[in-house]
Amino acid sequence: MDYRDPFAFPHEWLTTVDRSLVETLRRWADKEILAKRAEHQEDPATLLHPALHSLFDELGLACLLWPEAEGGSGLRTSDLAMTMAAALEQVGRADAGLAMALADSLVMQASVGVEPHRDESRLQLLIKIWRQSAQPALAALMLPALAQGEQATCDDLFGLAPPAVLRSAGDGWRLRGEQCRPTGVGSAAGAFGVTALVESDRRIAFVLISAAAEGVVRHEPFRQTGLEVWPNARVSFRDVVVPEASLAFFGARRLRELLAWRNLACAAVVCGGLLNAQEILQDWGETRVIKGKGQIFKNNPLTASLMGEVGGEIAAARTLTYSLARLVSRPDLYGDAGDATIFTAAVNTARQVCRQAMTALNRSMELMASAGYATEWNLERIWRDTKTIEAGLGPSTAAQAQLARHFFASQTT
């Protein structure tokens, strides 16, 4: 890691291959995204849509878990967690929307592609869905959320409501759910990973569904604060036939494992945004003077103190994220990610990292004043994207209750 990286983090856990990937992605981000960002200010999609293809297909990041015979990298162990964190951080530095598109794709694949749960038939199903889709391997996850209206809530889903219901229909399974809100890219995803409650026994299920399946209705895209390059859209599942191979897993433990991976992915993307924010603020701090006295901005005691706070938050966020990647990548040492301890660590880390990131970004914007909110400087975009990622972690109350349940045996009602 010999690029100008001022933040110490436990990089000893990265393999040689990981480091090489990081270097490649860093160069790719500099050349393909950051150097061209200004000229695509008006319409970032013209830059990022082709970049997605290059990232997913040419660099092969969407195929890390695919068998080598299918053109993938053949990864199959939880070591993927470290690789994924390092890669998402670099992609997140380039663009959080791009990185979250990759993150949700990898998380969905990891749910059926990482040992001891690796299931070749289900992985093949995903590969087949994506190969039939016009888009690269974009995936949208439907996770538990606050209930709207009289929708039932479930203790195993942290007091939240399942977006869909799965029922046995004699010849197989049917999925029903109206206006399910994906984590992102709902308007473009080729595959959906849907959390559902089994109607008969109230078990939790996670179902892989092709966007092209009969009964899948994609609604109009809606606007949100950030991550808008692939707009989100709600999706309804109207008695969609669910083949056996589409049932990724049953049970709360496996869902916790999936969420732990997603929390890690979110934290890594947020760290990437912070790395770019640090570069933006550094540029600002070195090229501005204050008080008309020729004092370089970064050398004023007050601004230096605030910049110190920003740097400290970034450093801590990054260390936490790589520590979580280590926890998830070594179930032999720490237990699997569905275990309450690791899951809680994941929930906590993602929340902490987002909080630290928002502090760092708010301070950076305050330092840069109007340049902080002008799109030209890109800081506001990172700020909006990060808030959107934080919101996507779910309601804070459910997370806090989970932490209290784990740390203090609280039984919140």
> Which residues bind to another protein, rule: CB under 8 A?
41-42, 145-153, 155, 159-161, 181, 183, 222-226, 288, 290-292, 302-303, 306, 358, 362, 365-367, 369-370, 372-376, 380, 383-384, 387-388, 390-398, 400-401, 412-413
As a whole number of Å, the end-to-end CA separation of the chain is: 48
Give min distance, CB of 83 to another protein, in A. Answer: 27
Give min distance, CB of 11 to another protein, in A. Answer: 31
Give min distance, CB of 321 to another protein, in A. Answer: 19
* Nearer residue to another protein within complex by CB, 17 or 404: 404
Chain position carrying tokens 């920003």: 310
Residue type, 21: L
| Bridge partners (DSSP) listed for residue 65 | none
| Residue 116 near residue 211, CB atoms below 8 Å | no
| Strand pairing report for 247-250 and 232-242 | unpaired
Characterise 87 by phi-psi region: left (phi > 0), alpha (psi -120 to 50), beta (else).
alpha
* Nearer residue to another protein within complex by CB, 195 or 388: 388
* Nearer residue to another protein within complex by CB, 174 or 363: 363
Give min distance, CB of 233 to another protein, in A. Answer: 12
Other C-beta atoms within 10 Å of 384: how many? 18
Give min distance, CB of 117 to another protein, in A. Answer: 26
From CA 190, how far away is CA 210, in angstroms rounded?
6
* Nearer residue to another protein within complex by CB, 26 or 181: 181
* Nearer residue to another protein within complex by CB, 144 or 272: 144
* Nearer residue to another protein within complex by CB, 240 or 367: 367
- Burial class (CB within 10 angstroms; exposed 0-12, middle 13-18, buried 19+) of 389: buried
From CA 404, how far away is CA 302, in angstroms rounded?
37
| Residue 257 near residue 336, CB atoms below 8 Å | yes
- Burial class (CB within 10 angstroms; exposed 0-12, middle 13-18, buried 19+) of 34: middle
* Nearer residue to another protein within complex by CB, 322 or 383: 383
Give min distance, CB of 112 to another protein, in A. Answer: 24
DSSP secondary structure of 43-79: -THHHHHHHHHIIIIIS-GGGTTS-GGGTS----STT
Give min distance, CB of 277 to another protein, in A. Answer: 14
